[in-house]
Structure 1
Amino acid sequence: MDETVPSSPGDRDGATGDPSAAGDDSAGARSMTVRGAAFLGVGSMVGAGIFALLGEAGAVAGAAVWLSFLLAGVVATLQGYAVAKLGARYPSSGGIVTFLLQAYGRGHITATASWLLYFAALIVTAMVAVSFGNYGAALFFDDSTVWSKILTAAVIVLVAAVNIAGTTLIDRVQTVIVLILLAVFAVFIAVTLAQLDPALLAPSTYPPAVDIVSSVALTFFAYLGFTVVSFTGGDLPDPHRNLPRAMYLSLAITVTLYILIAVGVFGTLPVDEVIAHGDTALAVAAKPALGDAGFAIMALAALLATSSSVNANIYAAVGSTAKLAETGTFPPVFGHRALIGGTRGLTISAVLILLLALLVDLTAIASLGSVVALAIFLVTSIGAFRLRKEIRARTAILVTGIAATVIVLVVFAVQTLRTSPQTFTAMVAVLALAVALELIWDRLRTRRRV
């Protein structure tokens, strides 16, 4: 018989909303460190952002990509404040799902937003896994399409195995990977800034301001991983203090990296060349100063970053689906133990990511994943506003975050409807799918109770 995975101490505490209970570390072992939680966020963001997105962002924002990353970082930090306050008050391995439950209850808003969150996570993880495969094929197999797909599938399966092994191994793996990445990026930033051509970054070459603001919805894709930190609440000791610390640390590291790397790349290569090289633009930018060794080093860094991002996102998917199954928002099968370890939510998620990565052109829907996530974070920030007294959050910061997110979403929606109606249609279709799944499961759940 299937067994539902018992919730962690953090899950139970988050569900009750009792702050004293939530902070009681004696309820169970807490196996995640602040450094590990922060690096989980950094690993998730860096893999999704710089390696998988730089070329596509350049096609919209041109040489002003650094500015787009800065603006997106401001929006992410404002939202990170709301998520950190919620996480400190309601620590849980369910992350944002727990916050939605606290703010809106177990109704249609929470359920629909949860489906959207799950879709966004699948898209982001699949896209980053594809980036891993592309870099691996470019480095070892002369850009072989077959090997790209093999490596894409391999990283998903390997990361699923790491998540089955447990939180302690995830912490250690993420820490090692991110420390190596930070060292590599420090070298990359130093050599690219040393050979910078200021003319390539001249404001006169920037696109119109409306295009830069519109591109923020795309570059925000690079920050989606900050929410992974919220899922460590059930594994962090003293989450009231440590979860916000991990959140702000991960965002500070990532925003700084993105701006410096974007300046280095677009100050070294013309925009057209960055767009042409796409996923491998960083490796190409390192080549003038470091030669073929520079390309190889950055390609290896890309493999580490993208595998780290896949790992972090799957970790979050496991926590969220288990919480959703526990509360009845998702079918209970997501919370059942799998035969090979972990939950069936992990197995289902890994299979769906595999199918997306191998069968769908993900570059065409990158902006879709980003705008869906922005909408979810908007709902979360509004939830934080509703709970602002309980979570002791500053109203002005919450309102500023909500306003900034609304502006980005509106500008992006208008621009998308004007320039890419197919993507706009896809956005509406994803929302409709989430609503349909919620209504179908709600009806099935009601019949089971009768």
Structure 2
Amino acid sequence: MAAGTQKRMTVLQATFIGVGSMVGAGIFALLGAAGAVAGSAVWLSFLIAGAIAGLQGYSFAKLGARYPSGGGLLTYLSKGFGEGHIAGIGAWLFFTAGSIVVAMIASSFGGYASSVVAGGDAGWAKALGVLLIVVMGCLNAVGSTAVARVQSLLVTLVLAILVVFAAVTIVNLDPALLAPSDYPGVREIIASVALTFFAFLGFGVITFTAKDLPNPSRQLPRAIYFALAIATTVYVAVALGVFGTLTADQVVEYGATAIAEAAKPTLGQAGYVLMVITALLSTTGAVNAGLYPSIGMTRHLASIGQFPPVFGRSVGRFPVGLLVMAAFASILVVGFDLTSIASIGSAVALLVFSTVSVGHFRLYRETGASVIVLAIGLIATLGTLIVFCTTTLVNEPATAIALVVIIALAVLVDLLWKRTRTNREAADPREQAGS
């Protein structure tokens, strides 16, 4: 079989992988946390975060069209900075951020599922979250075609239900609950943007679909733009519906189940049940999509020597990269609360995305990107990161410490691996990276 005939993913399927990852993280997991910071202005923070993600999406689309690879955005790091420590540290950080995204969404799934089967018991929530990671890990081991088909089905169902929910709640919303006079200050809204930006991390996953697209130079940018447009529209519409139905304090109190509670006034108990089911479907799809990059990403990085060769191997049908990400995510589900996981994931992703943007300035002549757009995107992303660090992290010292530890470990692991690789090559000149 020719290599080209193995690439069976369509633009729509690649789009749904990104949408599924984003919507699962953003709507069902972050409304309460974002509401605690931005109040009823959460819809605005989603809109701003979407605009920032769009600027990053422009950068990724240009890079992806020029350098399509199974290594996704990590390939862009290598092209911009070479195969040195910056690319290596960025790769370890992104792998970590991916695990955090999966963990956070799985935690959200566990919260909903435990409310159905175990009265919201915390132990059951963690167990069910880990179970979802295991099941979706098995699906990813089957192959990208299975992932794409399941994702398309899940996202179609979720989007259809969310569109109905948004339409019904917006028509019946109370304008007084969304009055700008009750919005917090600009600083608080910007601080919430750093949190809601987590809801858009899924678009980075799309860059890893290049290996499965027949014509990635044309199809990858389309998938990125489509996914961001769909996700931003859904986020803003649902946020307006929820905060136009419930007070900000109620949204914070309900937390992960806020969207289901918002369905009650207009759709009754049936609406609550429907939204719980939707949350389970959405978070399932998001974990499925979140695990997807682990295989192509780690194999690519192992082939160029950025990751140890073991990441290019499999244990039976299970690629090592997939096993490691699933295991790490499971540990996070058991050991961290939802908000802490979201905060760490946002900070790491903002750092990696900013680094990719810096690298793009070295490549813009090859990609044909506008320097002005790249500069605006970099300033917006770095600005969000700085505000996040000076607001959210200041109030979460444990999260700040965890972030520093993660960055330090990424640096340490990269240095140790590069030294080990150098020693091996010195001992045996025939041994090259990826051999």
Q: Give me the TM-score of the superposition, normalised by structure 2.
A: 0.95
Select 2:190's aligned residue among 191, 196, 213. 213
Bigger drift between 134-143 and 272-281 goes to 134-143
1:402 equivalent in alignment to 2:396: no
Select 1:140's aligned residue among 117, 135, 140. 117
Which residue number corresponds to residue 78 of structure 2?
Answer: 101
Select 1:378's aligned residue among 327, 346, 354. 354
Which residue number corresponds to residue 423 of structure 2?
Answer: 447
How far is 1:433 from its partner?
1.6
Partners of 1:362 and 1:132 lie apart in 2 by 11
1:199 equivalent in alignment to 2:171: no
Which residue number corresponds to residue 277 of structure 2?
Answer: 300
**1:39-438 alignment, distance < 5 Å:** 39-339=16-316, 341-416=317-392, 418-438=394-414
How far is 1:27 from its partner?
4.5
How far is 1:192 from its partner?
0.9
Partners of 1:273 and 1:142 lie apart in 2 by 20
Can you give the 5+ residue segments of structure 2 that lack an aligned partner in the other structure?
427-435
In 2, are the aligned partners of 1:139 and 1:296 still within 8 Å (CA)? no
After superposition, the Cα gap between the structure-2 partners of 1:146 and 1:423, relative to the gap in structure 1 and judged at 3 Å, is: closer
Identity of aligned residues (%): 51
Partners of 1:49 and 1:161 lie apart in 2 by 24
- Show CA shifts across 1:392-431 (max 9, x none): 1111111110111121122222224643444333332222
3-state SS, counterpart of residue 44 of structure 1: helix
In 2, are the aligned partners of 1:123 and 1:362 still within 8 Å (CA)? no
Partners of 1:395 and 1:326 lie apart in 2 by 32
3-state SS, counterpart of residue 92 of structure 1: coil
In 1, are the aligned partners of 2:4 and 2:214 still within 8 Å (CA)? no
Partners of 1:383 and 1:142 lie apart in 2 by 49
Amino acid at match of 1:131: S
Partners of 1:347 and 1:116 lie apart in 2 by 17
- Show CA shifts across 1:224-256 (max 9, x none): 000111000010011111111111000000000
Amino acid at match of 2:138: A
Partners of 2:404 and 2:340 lie apart in 1 by 15
Amino acid at match of 1:117: F
Bigger drift between 119-128 and 413-422 goes to 413-422
- Show CA shifts across 1:149-201 (max 9, x none): 33212211110111111111111111111110111001111221122111111
Amino acid at match of 1:439: L
In 1, are the aligned partners of 2:46 and 2:193 still within 8 Å (CA)? yes
Partners of 2:279 and 2:76 lie apart in 1 by 33
Amino acid at match of 1:101: S
In 2, are the aligned partners of 1:97 and 1:323 still within 8 Å (CA)? no
3-state SS, counterpart of residue 173 of structure 2: coil
In 1, are the aligned partners of 2:94 and 2:349 still within 8 Å (CA)? yes
Partners of 1:229 and 1:109 lie apart in 2 by 22
Amino acid at match of 1:330: F
Partners of 1:228 and 1:445 lie apart in 2 by 28
Partners of 1:374 and 1:189 lie apart in 2 by 29
Amino acid at match of 1:314: L
Amino acid at match of 2:249: D
Partners of 1:134 and 1:412 lie apart in 2 by 26
Partners of 2:292 and 2:232 lie apart in 1 by 22
